[in-house]
Amino acid sequence: MVEIFNVDYNEYVDIIGTAHFTRRSINDAYTSIRSSRPEDIALELDWRRFQQLNTACIGCPRRDSCKGICEFTVASDTLGNVNANIWLIDMSEREMRTRIRGLMTPLERRNAAHGRYRYGRENPTWLWERGFKDQVINNSKRQIEAERRYFPSVWRVLIDERNALMAARLASITSAKLEDDDNPRILTFVGAAHVEGLRALLRTPLRVRENLQKFNLSYTEPTLIRRVAVQAN
């Protein structure tokens, strides 16, 4: 693991909260990439999900108008023919499932059987698309609190542990960049539920290492996908 410096990494990491597969999030991703022209983008994906999202649409005539495309795919596509780094920083789905199975208690399993995880009737996609982003985020926070109450193990893996791993990877990427660049910019797209937790960890780097140890997480480097500009003949 690259050395983690005692700095506020929020100075170098721009985190954008999204609601996957919504047109508004797709537009936010497109606008952010086009305006900032970053050399480094970090995505809340692992290699398998990145492949699934990008290969599923190859050759599809509905690609540009399909409602199944997400902001992560758009962020990757919008880079275009440029030299850029795409960093995949999330825990794999397989690891998430394994860790949840190992932590869930009999009480949590009973709660799942009775559907106690459901919260609210408002459609978050409908609200997000119509500009009520703050309302969606506040609803999400209340839902997370409810899930933390009934499913502490699931909440720990899906929120706390993933935040710890993603923060460690973002800190590692940024630390390496700081060795050659005084002001690197890493544009990061994650689900809205992760934004506050990531910013808090990046603000106090010592907590990044502490959380990896606390959750018994083995650190592995983020997956790098190097985009190389192809010069026309």
How much is the pLDDT for 4? 75
Distance CA 183, CA 179 (A): 10
Q: Are the beta carbons of 82 and 36 closer than 8 angstroms?
A: no
For the chain, give percent helix, strand, coil, nearest 5: 55, 10, 35
How much is the pLDDT for 21? 60
pLDDT tens per residue, range 53-111 = 777 666 666 656 665 667 788 888 888 767 889 999 999 999 999 999 999 998 888 87
Distance CA 214, CA 27 (A): 37
Mean pLDDT of 155-171: 94
The tokens for 135 are: 């309302």
Is the pLDDT at 195 greater than 70, yes or no?
Answer: yes
pLDDT tens per residue, range 132-141 = 556 655 666 6
Is the pLDDT at 36 greater than 80, yes or no?
Answer: yes
Domain boundaries, the chain: 9-104+152-227
Distance CA 82, CA 43 (A): 18
Cα R_g (the chain), whole angstroms? 18
Q: Are the beta carbons of 208 and 3 closer than 8 angstroms?
A: no
Q: Are the beta carbons of 43 and 89 closer than 8 angstroms?
A: yes
Neighbouring C-beta atoms of residue 12, cutoff 10 Å? 22
Q: How many percent of the chain have pLDDT more than 90?
A: 41
